[in-house]
Amino acid sequence: MDTIGSIGGAQDDDGLFGPDSVTWRVHLEPVLWVAGMRALLLQSLHPRVMRGTYQNSALFDPKKAWPRFQRTVEFVGTRTFGSSAEIEAAATRVRRLHAALRGHDPDTGTDFRLDLPENLLWVHACEIDSYVDVARRAGVLGDAAEADAYVAESVRAAAVVGLDPAAVPSSRAELAAYFDRVRPALRLTDEARLGVGGLLRPQPEAPATAAVALSTIAGLAFGTLPRWARRLYGLPGLPTTDAVTSVALRLTRGATTLLPDPPMPPRIARARDLVRSA
């Protein structure tokens, strides 16, 4: 298995990716917030993963959801833009946390570890599929080759949470084949209904502007789901929804390019400057 330390140890190194990567360019786009919400909605359709998350996570407690959401965003930012040392420290914390968590499956009456490879792979695949789908439809990725390059680069991120890179999809075709294998086991559980419903409600601890933005992002994210996933949520799986959503994503991305750069952590501001110069 690849190790994070093999990337390099300098404090100012570029970590997993770097300014020439497709990943840095994609993740600097504000429209990718839609992809993050899409990933949560997709992940929630896996009964075991959803139950384990619901039973252990503060993400669905209205008073704790916003800080928990911020920590998740911080981890993804560190994994994407941090130095090797920063990534290693964050990964160690996450792996240690996951190793201690257990979920209960009422269908079988058994307990299970949250960090089982099949659970981690589902979460990773939903995240990457969401990022690459939204990036393509919003016009961030220009062609199929760039999209495949992004998926291939994401294998490095999978190693951060403890997955064997050899078992991780490294192309869009492999991602599609993975979802075809898993789809028969997917369904909308009671935990998913409660959890997703909580995500769509205004978060009392979030700033007012963020609460409004999250509601808008969630509505758009539902439209970006695959047709089969929308049907599992009881929504129409129509081709017209795909077309309208793609137009909305491109308009959203176009609008964000007209806005001034928002405040951002130093590591991400540095990545933005390096990508622009590259």
Lowest mean pLDDT among 14-23, 129-138, 196-205, 260-269: 196-205
Q: What is the pLDDT of residue 208?
A: 60
Helix (H) or strand (E) holding 41: helix 32-43
The model's confidence at residue 204, banded by pLDDT at 50, 70 and 90, is: low
**Structural domain total, the chain:** 1
Residue 98 belongs to what domain range? 4-270
Tell whether 278 is covered by a domain. no
Lowest mean pLDDT among 42-51, 74-83, 196-205: 196-205
Tell whether 277 is covered by a domain. no
Tell whether 184 is covered by a domain. yes
Whether the predicted pLDDT of 9 surpasses 60: no
Residues 6+ positions from 115 with CB-CB distance below 8 Å: 95, 98, 99, 101, 162
| Contact assessment for residue 50 and residue 189, using Cβ atoms and an 8 Å cutoff | yes
| Contact assessment for residue 135 and residue 38, using Cβ atoms and an 8 Å cutoff | no
Helix (H) or strand (E) holding 218: helix 208-224
Tell whether 276 is covered by a domain. no
Q: Which of 271, 274, 254, 273 is nearest to 77 (CA)?
A: 271
Percent of the chain with pLDDT over 70: 85
Tell me how far apart the alpha carbons of residues 180 and 32 are, in angstroms, rounded to a whole number.
24
Tell me how far apart the alpha carbons of residues 125 and 208 are, in angstroms, rounded to a whole number.
32
Classify each residue of 92-113 as buried b or exposed e, where b means 16 or more C-beta atoms within 10 Å of its C-beta: eebeeebeeeebeeeeeeeebe
Tell whether 57 is covered by a domain. yes
Helix (H) or strand (E) holding 149: helix 144-160
The model's confidence at residue 4, banded by pLDDT at 50, 70 and 90, is: very low
Report residue 105: phi and psi, to 5°.
-100, 105
Average pLDDT over residues 73-83: 92
Tell whether 54 is covered by a domain. yes
Lowest mean pLDDT among 23-37, 94-108, 223-237, 251-265: 251-265
Give the residues across from 103 on adjacent strands.
Answer: 112
Tell whether 41 is covered by a domain. yes
Tell whether 146 is covered by a domain. yes
Tell me how far apart the alpha carbons of residues 231 and 208 are, in angstroms, rounded to a whole number.
32
Average pLDDT over residues 265-269: 83
Q: What is the pLDDT of residue 69?
A: 74
Q: What is the pLDDT of residue 54?
A: 86
Whether the predicted pLDDT of 45 surpasses 90: yes
The model's confidence at residue 3, banded by pLDDT at 50, 70 and 90, is: very low
Whether the predicted pLDDT of 128 surpasses 80: yes
Whether the predicted pLDDT of 49 surpasses 90: yes
The string of DSSP codes covering 85-133 is HHHHHHHHHHHHHHHT-EEEETTTTEEEETT-HHHHHHHHHHHHHHHHH
Q: What is the pLDDT of residue 179?
A: 98
Lowest mean pLDDT among 12-16, 54-58, 111-115, 273-277: 54-58
